[in-house]
C-alpha cells in the first residue's frame, strides 16, 4: 500500500482535527494521501486532491470519516475497482462505519500488518426502463426504494422474478434491499435481518394494503422487475441519495451487480457484536 484516500463528511464537527491527525500519521509511515476535493477544504495542507469519482482509482485504501451515508456514497464511486473501504464513525448509528475514532489509528496499523478482515458485500445494479429503453442505471449497497410522493395515493406495483410474475403490491412503496441494507430502511418497515455477506435480496412492502403481503427473501442471482401500473407521483431512490421520477408503465430492473464492495473491519468486531452494540441485542 502506498496511497490512501480520505473522504470526510464536510459538516462533521470533528472532521478537521481528525484529518490533520490522519495526515500526520500517514506521513510518518511514509504513505501518500489523496483527499476528496470537498474534504481538502477542511485541511490546512493538502498533499493531493481528486474528485469523488476519480479518487478510488488513485488509491489503495479509502478511509471514510463520517456516517453510513458518506460510506454509501463512496461505495457507489468505488464500483468495480475493488478498493477496500475503512469506515470511521463520526456520525450516529454507524452500521457500516463501525470503527470508532479511537480505533482509527490502531485499525490502520493492523491493516498494514495484515491483521484486519476484509468483508465482501454484494451490490445491486438498478436501471429504469421507459418504453423499452433504459434511461438510467445506478449501483446500490443498501437498497432501491420505490415510494409515493407526499400527496400520492397508495401505489400499484407489479413484480416479476426471473421473468415470471410473482405478485402485485398495493402499498405506500416497496424496498428492494441487499443483506447490508437489511438493517436500514427494510428493518424499519418490518423486514428481516440478513447476514451481510449472503447473496440474497429482500423485498419489503411499505404499509401494504394487503396484510398477507409479507417481506420475502430471494436468491441474489434472481432478476427482479417492478412495474408501476398507474399514473401517479412515484420515485425510485438509490441508497436514499439518488432519486428518479417514475411514469406509468416504467419498470425498475434490479439484479446483483458483478462487482462487490470490500469493507475493512477488526476480526473481533463481527456482525453479531455490531448488532449487540448498535441494536442493544441481549440487553432486555
Q: Report the C-alpha gap between 99 and 67 in whole angstroms.
A: 10
In this prediction, residue 152 carries a pLDDT of 66
Residue 51 Cα distances to 34, 48, 135, 224, angstroms: 10, 11, 25, 33
* 68: CB partners within 8 A, 6+ apart: 87, 91, 93, 94, 95, 96, 97, 184
In this prediction, residue 269 carries a pLDDT of 84
Per-residue pLDDT, averaged over 29-45, amounts to 94
Q: Report the C-alpha gap between 199 and 224 in whole angstroms.
A: 14
Which residues carry out catalysis? 68
For the chain, domain boundaries = 3-116+266-278, 123-259
In this prediction, residue 199 carries a pLDDT of 96
If pLDDT is split at 50, 70 and 90, which confidence band does 256 have?
Answer: very high
Check pLDDT > 90 for residue 91: no
Q: Report the C-alpha gap between 277 and 48 in whole angstroms.
A: 36
Average pLDDT over the chain, rounded to whole? 93
Higher pLDDT, 98 or 116: 116
pLDDT tens-place string over residues 114-169: 999 999 999 999 999 999 999 999 999 999 999 987 666 789 999 999 999 999 99
* 161 in Cβ contact with 222 (< 8 Å): yes
Check pLDDT > 90 for residue 283: no
Host H or E run for residue 109: helix 104-112
* 254 in Cβ contact with 234 (< 8 Å): no
If pLDDT is split at 50, 70 and 90, which confidence band does 106 have?
Answer: very high
pTM of the model: 0.93
* 157 in Cβ contact with 219 (< 8 Å): no
Q: Report the C-alpha gap between 18 and 205 in whole angstroms.
A: 40
User: At the top level of CATH, which class does the domain 123-259 belong to?
Assistant: mainly beta
Does the domain spanning 3-116+266-278 belong to CATH 3.40.50.10330? yes
In this prediction, residue 98 carries a pLDDT of 84
Q: Report the C-alpha gap between 283 and 31 in whole angstroms.
A: 42
Cα–Cα nearest to 265, from 58, 121, 90: 121
63 grid coordinates: 478511509
In this prediction, residue 92 carries a pLDDT of 67
In this prediction, residue 176 carries a pLDDT of 98
In this prediction, residue 253 carries a pLDDT of 98
Amino acid at each position: 500500500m502506498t496511497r490512501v484516500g480520505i473522504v470526510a463528511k464536510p459538516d462533521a464537527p470533528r472532521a478537521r482535527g481528525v484529518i490533520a491527525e490522519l495526515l500526520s500519521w500517514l506521513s510518518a509511515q511514509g504513505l501518500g494521501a489523496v483527499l476528496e476535493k470537498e474534504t481538502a477544504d477542511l485541511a490546512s495542507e493538502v498533499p493531493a486532491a481528486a474528485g469523488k469519482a476519480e479518487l478510488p482509482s488513485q488509491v489503495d485504501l479509502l478511509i471514510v470519516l463520517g456516517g453510513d451515508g458518506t460510506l454509501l456514497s463512496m461505495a457507489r464511486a468505488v464500483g468495480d475497482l475493488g478498493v477496500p473501504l475503512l469506515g470511521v464513525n463520526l456520525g450516529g448509528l454507524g452500521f457500516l462505519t463501525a470503527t470508532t475514532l479511537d480505533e482509527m489509528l490502531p485499525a490502520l496499523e493492523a491493516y498494514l500488518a495484515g491483521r484486519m478482515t476484509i468483508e465482501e458485500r454484494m451490490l445491486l445494479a438498478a436501471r429504469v426502463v421507459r418504453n423499452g429503453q433504459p434511461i438510467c442505471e445506478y449501483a446500490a449497497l443498501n437498497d432501491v426504494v420505490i415510494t409515493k410522493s407526499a400527496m400520492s395515493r397508495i401505489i400499484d406495483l407489479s413484480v416479476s422474478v426471473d421473468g415470471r410474475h410473482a405478485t402485485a403490491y398495493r402499498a405506500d412503496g416497496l424496498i428492494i434491499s441487499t443483506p447490508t441494507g437489511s438493517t436500514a430502511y427494510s428493518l424499519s418497515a418490518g423486514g428481516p435481518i440478513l447476514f451481510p455477506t449472503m447473496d440474497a435480496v429482500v423485498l419489503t412492502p411499505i404499509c401494504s394494503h394487503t396484510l398477507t403481503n409479507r417481506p420475502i427473501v430471494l436468491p441474489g442471482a434472481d432478476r427482479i422487475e417492478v412495474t408501476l401500473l398507474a399514473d401517479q407521483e412515484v420515485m425510485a431512490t438509490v441508497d436514499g441519495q439518488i432519486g428518479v421520477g417514475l411514469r406509468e408503465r416504467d419498470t425498475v430492473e434490479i439484479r446483483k451487480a458483478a462487482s462487490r464492495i470490500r469493507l475493512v473491519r477488526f476480526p473481533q468486531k463481527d456482525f453479531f457484536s455490531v448488532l449487540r452494540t448498535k441494536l442493544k441485542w441481549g440487553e432486555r
